[in-house]
């Protein structure tokens, strides 16, 4: 055993009794010993070289000096600790998507409940991915579940946990749905009156239905400066957003204001919501009415979120700079924006016509025959 000064730990080769000969032998691998808060620890350095073993011990003591946890403390972290941490993270930072978070936690719990965090290895997560795919889940859904687990691990990174390095599955289910102006008008005639305003509003602005459009109150309409806005704590990316009150948006809001005044007169109440039910309350569950209307309009399968894609397509057709379109729709990354910017045949034809107009306007352009 090679001892050092008190408090500096030590390295040693443990002795053991040979089962065949009964003789006492010495391990070829060096071990180290040290104390943390009066509790003694011993662990293998994994080295047969004395110098390498001492270097291992010194590195461990440096980690302890930086208040890094001991291996025993790391091994005590459980899957349940990870999930509790991610819940707390969402609550403290007022993040949206708690319902989806709880869904992911439920799925993960069925596979990892009771596990020590250190046992949730890359191999274990890859096996989880395979099981979920075998159950018929889409790659995007599986990726969300795994990303939830990965975020939880990151919250424990300072406590010594290694973040899993598992690649995300390739997603080939990117939706291509959108709605044209003509289809929108057909849909509006089939929708109940209470759902027509927000439908057209989302078609124009590209705002998300439930979390952004339906949550608007008249306090969010700035008539003086000509904007309807979202506060930072109301958006998915925690960034404030404004949309100008262009003529079509003003027309939608004027109709909603007329409904608001009519309901207030009839019921003697104050209606704060921009888009409201007939009794003045907020619209919370439009899915059933939406499905009935889309089926009646011959647009079965159309999603409410397809209104967002349609709005972005229209921004592109209008020639808005990409940065302006992203600011209006609330996209932070161009990669996600591009998934919404679906190139329809009409957009391609319009692009070709503009390109032809550019060539026609070139003064020195000559047409050279391709054949002699």
pLDDT at residue 363, rounded to an integer: 63
Mean of all residue pLDDT scores within the chain = 86
Q: Which helix (H) or strand (E) holds 233?
A: none
Half-sphere exposure of 339 (CA within 13 A, CB side): 11
pLDDT tens sequence across 45-75: 999 999 999 999 988 888 776 556 667 778 8
Separation of CA 172 from chain center: 17
Q: Is the pLDDT of residue 265 over 70?
A: yes
Task: Give the mean model confidence (pLDDT) for residues 134-146.
Answer: 91
Q: Is the pLDDT of residue 1 over 80?
A: no
pLDDT > 70: what percent of the chain?
85
Residues with Cβ within 8 Å of residue 359, at least 6 apart in sequence: 365
Angle at the Cα of 341 (from 335 to 343), degrees rounded to 5? Answer: 125
Q: Are 111 and 131 in contact (CB under 8 A)?
A: yes
Residues with Cβ within 8 Å of residue 138, at least 6 apart in sequence: 171, 173
pLDDT tens sequence across 158-189: 777 888 888 888 876 555 567 899 999 999 99
Indicate the domain borders of the chain: 2-68, 79-159, 181-353
Residue in the block written with tokens 């993270």: 89
**Whats the size of the chain, residue-wise?**
372
pLDDT at residue 75, rounded to an integer: 85
Q: Is the pLDDT of residue 44 over 50?
A: yes
Which tokens go with 364? 């020195």
Q: Is the pLDDT of residue 96 over 50?
A: yes
The fold for domain 79-159 equals DNA polymerase; domain 1 (1.10.150)
Measured CA to CA, the distance from residue 249 to residue 254 in angstroms comes to 9
pLDDT tens sequence across 333-362: 776 666 665 555 565 566 666 666 765 676
pLDDT at residue 351, rounded to an integer: 60
**CATH code 3.40.50.11540 for 181-353:** no
pLDDT at residue 89, rounded to an integer: 93
Measured CA to CA, the distance from residue 65 to residue 219 in angstroms comes to 54
Q: Which long-range contacts (CB under 8 A, 24 or more apart) does 156-161 make?
A: 156/77, 156/81, 156/82, 156/85, 156/117, 159/68, 159/69, 159/73, 159/74, 159/77, 160/68, 160/69, 160/71, 160/73, 160/74, 161/74, 161/77, 161/117, 161/118
Which tokens go with 329? 């729709």
Measured CA to CA, the distance from residue 302 to residue 314 in angstroms comes to 18
Least confident of 21-25, 232-236, 276-280: 232-236
Q: Is the pLDDT of residue 243 over 90?
A: yes
Measured CA to CA, the distance from residue 125 to residue 146 in angstroms comes to 8
Measured CA to CA, the distance from residue 344 to residue 336 in angstroms comes to 18
Q: Which long-range contacts (CB under 8 A, 24 or more apart) does 94-103 make?
A: 94/233, 96/211, 96/236, 97/236, 100/144, 101/148
pLDDT at residue 370, rounded to an integer: 58
Confidence of residue 93 (pLDDT cuts 50, 70, 90): confident
Measured CA to CA, the distance from residue 3 to residue 74 in angstroms comes to 27
pLDDT at residue 322, rounded to an integer: 85
């Amino acid at each position: 055993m090679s001892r050092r000064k008190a408090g500096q730990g030590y390295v040693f080769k443990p002795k053991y009794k040979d089962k065949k000969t009964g003789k006492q032998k010495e391990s070829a691998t060096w071990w180290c010993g040290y104390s943390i808060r009066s509790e003694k620890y011993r662990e293998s350095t994994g080295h047969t070289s004395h110098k390498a073993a001492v270097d291992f011990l010194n590195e461990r003591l440096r980690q302890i000096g930086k208040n890094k946890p001991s291996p025993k403390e790391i091994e005590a972290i459980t899957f349940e600790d990870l999930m509790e941490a991610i819940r707390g993270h969402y609550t403290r930072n007022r993040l949206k998507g708690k319902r989806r978070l709880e869904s992911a936690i439920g799925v993960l719990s069925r596979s990892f409940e009771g596990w020590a965090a250190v046992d949730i290895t890359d191999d274990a997560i890859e096996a989880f991915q395979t099981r979920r795919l075998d159950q018929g889940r889409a790659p995007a859904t599986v990726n969300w579940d795994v990303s939830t687990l990965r975020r939880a691990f990151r919250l424990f990174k300072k406590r010594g946990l290694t973040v899993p390095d598992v690649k995300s599955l390739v997603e080939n289910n990117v939706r291509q749905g959108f709605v044209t102006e003509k289809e929108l008008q057909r849909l509006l005639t089939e929708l109940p009156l209470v759902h027509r305003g927000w439908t057209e509003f989302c078609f124009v602005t590209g705002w998300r239905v439930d979390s952004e459009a339906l949550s608007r109150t008249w306090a969010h309409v700035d008539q003086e400066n000509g904007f309807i806005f979202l506060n930072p704590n109301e958006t998915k990316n925690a960034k404030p957003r404004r949309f100008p009150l262009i003529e079509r948006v003003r027309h939608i809001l004027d109709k909603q204001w007329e409904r608001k005044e009519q309901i207030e007169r009839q019921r003697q109440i104050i209606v704060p919501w921009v888009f409201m039910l007939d009794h003045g309350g907020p619209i919370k569950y439009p899915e059933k009415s939406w499905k009935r209307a889309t089926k009646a309009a011959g647009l079965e399968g159309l999603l409410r979120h397809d209104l967002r894609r349609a709005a972005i397509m229209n921004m592109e057709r209008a020639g808005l700079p990409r940065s302006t379109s992203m600011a209006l729709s609330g996209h932070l990354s161009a990669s996600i924006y591009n998934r919404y910017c679906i190139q329809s045949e009409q957009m391609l034809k319009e692009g070709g016509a503009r390109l032809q107009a550019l060539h026609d306007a070139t003064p020195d352009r000559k047409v050279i025959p391709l054949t002699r």
